[in-house]
Amino acid sequence: MLNMSQRQAVTKELKLIYQKAGKKEKGKIIDQLAELTGYHRHYAAFKLNRPWVKRKRRRLPVSFRPRVYDHEVFESLRRVWVIYDGICSKRLIPTLPEAVRKLEECGELTLSPEVKTKLLAISPATMDRMLKPIRQTFKLKGISTTKPGTLLKSQVPIRTFSDWDDKQPGFMEIDLVAHCGDSARDMFIYSLNLTDVSTGWTDPVAVMGRAEIRVFGGLKTVEERLPFSVLGLDSDNDSAFINGELIRYCESKHITFTRCRPYRKNDQAYVEQKNYSVVRRVIGYARFDTDEQLNLINQIYSCLRLYINFCLPVMKLIRKERLGSKVRKHYDEAKTPYRRLLESKIITSSQKGNLNRQYAKLNPAELRRNLNYLLKKLHQTLINERKKNP
């Protein structure tokens, strides 16, 4: 079978003969063309009778839109995005003016008025498109080590809507995250994670093992450094939380202590989300079981708590809307937990003053560098262990 260019060449040659031939010869030429090219006889006749016209391609004028966000704008955006943990555009855009101002105050960013105007005018879709080549995703997996406590469950009520006021700071969900690697044998480090439901304020601390006294000690450490009073605690049914010491402590402090329903993991949706976005994304899924690693992880958390609560904005789900088979989620404007605390009427003016003074001393880029340095040291301990025990 001839290809397209060959069929066109054959048709062109036979067409010259066809135009000079008689009626009987024309019929033979049509048969010959149909046999050579595979055309239907009617189409072959159409091709031979059709006037030969050399077509010229019309080239439409190409107009290029001038690039608005040049390389300088991209580099400035990339730097801010990296310092702010590579968060999505819908979280970064609302806090971008404050982030740029803070980085300029700390001497980490120098922008011309033109570049600054363009940077602050970027839309979320444009930001995602510009950052797409450098965005990376990580998929991590882990195991759970929660064991239910049975004897004292009756003394800890299941959380209901009447127990809590989620709109004011102080009602916190608590959970343990195991750093056991792929085996839960022997003693290893846990992260005790506390998340405030109203503001998203998250404060993790590392403890060695899951003994009641160590978990309770970690809880008191976090409580002492929180910028607000703890009004309520909600845990899962783990025996590390459902114990007499913690129950008596909550009763003495007038703290509402509740637990989620058994086997309903989504009852603690807020802290479960932070277990991944704060603990797992930073510390990972490796096994940590030495005092050196415990000290390093707590140093990381001392830096991380400032970084995520003062610098990284979070969005809260307002409502869900069902449209046929789809569900549309509506979120509020992204704000840092620090900003949400300042907007709260429960926080006193002295507490807000302390928060403002603490924020004024922070440098987001320096916090990010310190985190990277400490994480490298933590990773080096894993390398050293592998060399000792190949």
Select the more confidently predicted residue: 344 or 166. 344
State pLDDT tens for residues 167-215: 889 899 999 999 998 888 889 999 999 999 999 999 999 999 988 889 9
Check if the beta carbon of residue 111 is closer than 8 Å to that of residue 69. no
Residue 65 lies in a domain: no
Residue 229 lies in a domain: yes
Q: Is 318 helix (H, G, I), strand (E, B) or coil?
A: strand
For residues 331 and 234, membership in a common domain is answered with: yes
Residue 183 lies in a domain: yes
For residues 187 and 292, membership in a common domain is answered with: yes
For residues 95 and 180, membership in a common domain is answered with: no
pLDDT in the model for residue 266:
63
pTM listed for this prediction: 0.75
For residues 97 and 193, membership in a common domain is answered with: no
Residue at 38: amino acid letter? G
Residue 279 lies in a domain: yes
Residue span of the structural domain in which 124 resides: 71-134
Residue 35 lies in a domain: yes
pLDDT of residue 145 exceeding 70: no
For residues 28 and 165, membership in a common domain is answered with: no
Q: How far is CA 290 from CA 145, 189, 221, in A?
A: 19, 8, 20
Residue 146 lies in a domain: no
Structural tokens at position 378: 């933590």
For residues 191 and 329, membership in a common domain is answered with: yes
Residue 147 lies in a domain: no
Least confident segment among 7-21, 102-116, 156-170, 339-353: 156-170
For residues 211 and 296, membership in a common domain is answered with: yes
For residues 104 and 25, membership in a common domain is answered with: no
For residues 192 and 271, membership in a common domain is answered with: yes
For the segment 256-269, the average pLDDT, to the nearest whole number, is: 72
Residue 328 lies in a domain: yes
State pLDDT tens for residues 56-103: 677 777 777 778 888 999 999 999 999 998 898 999 999 999 999 999
In the chain, the number of structural domains is 3
**CB count, 10 Å around CB of 39?**
18
Pairing status of strand 232-235 against strand 256-259: parallel
